[in-house]
Structure 1
């Protein structure tokens, strides 16, 4: 299954200079709990913004640079998003968590089986906003209220 995971403020802001515009320990812990032991996909700039591989995760880094190399056992450079979508779409045994950036979210939103959104309370400064999306295609399945943010879990509605 294809799961999109992101945090955004009240204005749909998701980034500032390829980093998060906020530093919320609890939200980072939620990201870690959700993705440990999983396969996650980053765009190259987002991956570079986090500064390297995250422990206990298989990381795919999508780039158009054919000669881009990352020498790490848990990181694989990929250049074809369609192959990733075909592998994980409607796959009931293996999940991939799409974790940014904006271009990757835009490209994968139409294929998302689930959305996991952290709604950060407040408005922050930044330069990257989540692309427009239609929540009417999804059903809210769970809400977790925390002091500085709310996590909402959505599942795509069944197609007729």
Structure 2
């Protein structure tokens, strides 16, 4: 399954100079708990913004740079997003978590089986906003309330 995972403020802000515009320990813990032991996909700039491989995850880093190399056993550089989408659409028992940035979200939204959105309370300063998307294609299946944010889990409606 293709799952998109992100946090955004009340204005759909997701980034500031390839970093999160906020530092919310509990929200970072949610990200960690959700993705540990999973396969995650980052764009190159988002990965470089993090600056290191995240432990206990298989990380795919998508780039158009054919000569881009990351020497780490848990990180694989990929250049073909279509192949990744095809694999996870044809292997629904395997999960991939799409974790940004904006261009990666734009490219994968049409294929998302699930959305996991942390709605950060408040408005922050930044330069990158989540692309427009249509929640009417999804069903809200779970809400987790927190003092500083609300996590909403959505599943794509069945196609007729």
- Give the TM-score normalised by structure 1: 0.99
Partner of 1:53: 53
Residue 52 (structure 1) shift: 1.0
Deviation at 1:85, TM superposition (A): 0.1
What is the CA deviation profile of residues 83-138 of structure 1, one whole-angstrom value per residue up to 9, with x for unaligned ones? 00001125321100000000000000000000000000000000000000000000
Aligned residue number for residue 123 of structure 1: 123
Equivalent position of 2:36 in the other structure: 36
- Residue 25 of structure 1 deviates from its aligned partner by 0.0
SS in 2 for 1:104: helix
Task: State the alpha-carbon separation in 1 of the partners of residues 50 and 116 from structure 2.
Answer: 20
CA–CA separation in structure 2 for the residues paired with 1:4 and 1:144: 17
Q: Report the counterpart of residue 151 of structure 2 in structure 1.
A: 151
CA distance in 2, matches of 1:89, 1:21: 32
Unaligned runs of 5+ in 1: none
Aligned residues: 160
Where in structure 2 are there 5+ consecutive unaligned residues? none
Assess if the C-alpha contact under 8 Å between 1:90 and 1:113 holds in 2: no
Cα deviation code 1:7-51 (max 9, x no counterpart)? 000000000000000000000000000000000000000000001
Please give the alpha-carbon distance, in whole angstroms, between the structure 1 residues aligned to 2:91 and 2:3: 11
Matched, 1:91 2:97: no
* 2:14 corresponds to: 14
Q: Give every structure 1 segment of 4 or more consecutive aligned residues whose post-TM-superposition deviation is greater than 2 Å.
A: none
Cα separation, 1, equivalents of 2:44 and 2:92: 27
CA contact (8 A) 1:13 1:127 kept: yes
